[in-house]
Structure 1
Amino acid sequence: MRLSTVCLLMGLATLAPTVASAATLEQMAGQMIVVGFQGKSAADPSVVALRDDIAAGRLGGVMFLKVNVTSLDDVAAMNQAFRAASPDLPPLITLDQEGGAVERLTEDVGFTEIPRAVVVAAENTPEEAEALYARMAEAVAELGFTINFGPVVDIDRNPENQVIAKYGRAFGTDAETVTAYAEAFIRAHHQAGLVTALKHFPGHGSSTADSHEGFVDITETWDAVELEPYRALIAAGEADMVMIGHLFHADYAASPGEPSSFSRRWIEEVLRGELGFDGVVISDDLEMGAIRDHFSLEETVVGAVEAGMDILLFSNTSDYRQSLGQEVLDILLAEAEADPDFAARIEQSYERIVKLKQRID
């Protein structure tokens, strides 16, 4: 399974418009939704339902968590079913497999684990790290995944940080080190045919709180140097996707409490305008405390899309329901019917997603 150069150079000009022209607004909006689930085998009713949603174009992809992984054979069978449901527009079959504390595939089910980022960088050159990540990426790809949510390009700027430094998720304390090892991670995954996602924009490494738990204000701690890994990787053409964190900065918010995931200034002005990123923007989990404690589902969906978000990621863990994907889709369609500008945003996101998906074999 390899990234197809022919598809990347030629397919985007031919296949992508064909897919786009055949899609309904419902199918376009469906591609913007990625949800978590509770199934553990291909025969599980929840997995069958997700497969049907993918086939109908109502869902763009799925998110694996540890709850879904009881055996590697079952994981491979589920992924095969998801892929078979939409062979022309492959689903985004996603997971967080960073190494260390953040991973969904573990030794408990026979997967070879690797160290956390801080250890990888301390004990390996970037070239050695690439070889290490290549072995991991190949094993992930063989199971049928299409996206690994990494690398972490946060800079370790706060040793007391509760979500990055605490778990050794950053490659280093300076932008150059982080960039070098992030490139190694990305190259290894590309060799295996996997898409990657830089995270957590605009930078979670200096924060004093954890967005999983609640509101995170980076106004006094964030520094512009935290954009440098993004700037370098985007300029080098290494950025497949960028994952937006749920981080509040008063100078970049249009309203009190507006997180970066709902901020047009962060997404459209800084990421797309200043840094020149024209690819897919995906949210961090929209059920984290920073979001679910402050916004309704409708406010979350509409706010993120209006800010420029292309893919809405829901772990579906805070209040699990099989219907979550359909609920999100209904909100997107209702808003599009009421607002032509919102409908145009859906079409814009769909075009970016199709281009990305045509890179998946």
Structure 2
Amino acid sequence: VLRPSYAQMRQIGIDVNLSPVVDLDINPDSPDVGSVQRSYSSDPKLVAACVEALAEVAASVNLKLCLKHFPGTGGAKVNPHDHVMDLSDCLTDVQVNVFKDLISRVPMALFSHGIVNQWEKDTPVCLSTVAVNKMRAWAPDACILTDDLQMQGVQKLMSTGEACVKAVRAGADFILIGNNMKDEQQQAEEFARQLFSACAQDAFMRAHAEASIKRIRMLKSG
């Protein structure tokens, strides 16, 4: 089933699949993972075995995969599509290590809107320099994506434009935006202006953006 599915994706021009979900099934009632059966297992070894199989087939058809949702949202009690999601009391090293162990097999990781106060207080992981640096220590060339910045896990904290700037400043390579709130073209142009202005004024952020371009080019050429 997997091989023809991946092959068909390539045939219609899709070269990146934003999967697999590697969140552990910590809380069966978790509204965005356990209760909707998005997790392979609560056992990290079984999750790893599934990802190994996926990665092997994906590589055979030159399809890129993306681990999600860092650092592990299987214990969450709320859905980040609707609420601010705090993982501070439910995140464990076991969940984080799933990503650490698998990022060498998959070239991309999608960062969640979860807040881990032990890492960076009141800051969603997708906007956190500390979180990005953890991933960079394990896989310097991995491409990091934010989850959709128009989900309420971010929207209830700041505007989309502000989140875009924070994401790039933190070191994210790709910004995901659902474009489901306002006119798409108008919105995209405004975010681009905000990012251009921020990079022009902030050499540190500009360096992050330039490094991201290099990683993205490397990903596309691989």
TM-score > 0.5 by shorter chain: yes
Equivalent residue, structure 2, for 1:297: 160
8 Å contact kept, 1:211–1:289: yes
Question: Equivalent residue for 2:100?
Answer: 231
> For residues 18-65 of structure 1, what are the alpha-carbon distances to aligned partners after superposition, in whole Å with 9 as ceiling and x for unaligned?
xxxxxxxxxxxxxxxxxxxxxxxxxxxxxxxxxxxxxxxxxxxxxxxx
**Letter paired with 2:124:** P
1:324, CA displacement in angstroms?
2.5
State the AA in 2 paired with 1:357: K
Q: Is residue 55 of structure 2 the alignment partner of residue 192 of structure 1?
A: no
* Matched AA of 1:267: V
| Aligned partners of 1:267 and 1:307 also within 8 Å | yes
2:151 match: 288
CA contact (8 A) 1:282 1:312 kept: yes
Could you say which structure has the larger radius of gyration? 1
Q: What per-residue deviation string (whole Å, max 9, x for no partner) do you get for residues 189-248 of structure 1?
A: 2222211110000001111111111100111111110022212222xx312101000001
1:243-322 equivalences under 5 Å are: 243-253=110-120, 255=121, 257-268=122-133, 270-273=134-137, 275-322=138-185
Identity fraction in percent: 27
Q: What code does the residue aligned with 1:177 have?
A: L
| Alpha-carbon spacing, 1:324–1:146, altered in 2? closer, same or farther (3 Å) | farther
Match of 1:352 in 2: 215
- RMSD of aligned alpha carbons: 1.3
Once the two structures are TM-superposed, the CA of residue 339 in structure 1 deviates from its matched residue by 1.4
Unaligned runs of 5+ in 1: 1-131
1:222-279 CA-partner distances (Å, limit 9, x unpaired): 1110022212222xx31210100000111111x4x211111111111x2122x33431
Q: Under a length normalisation based on structure 1, what TM-score does the superposition of the two structures give?
A: 0.59
The structural deviation recorded for 1:332 is 1.3
Show structure 2 runs of 5+ residues with no match.
none
| TM-score, scaled relative to structure 2 | 0.95
Partners of 2:213 and 2:64 in 1: CA distance: 17
Partner of residue 4, structure 2:
135
Show the counterpart of 2:40.
Answer: 171
Provide the rounded CA distance (Å) in 2 between the counterparts of 1:241 and 1:149.
9
What is aligned with 1:99? none
Contact kept, 8 Å, 1:244 with 1:281, in 2: the verdict is: yes
Counterpart-to-counterpart distance in 1, 2:101 and 2:12? 31
Contact 2:111 2:147 in 1 (8 A): yes
The letter of the residue matching 1:245 is S
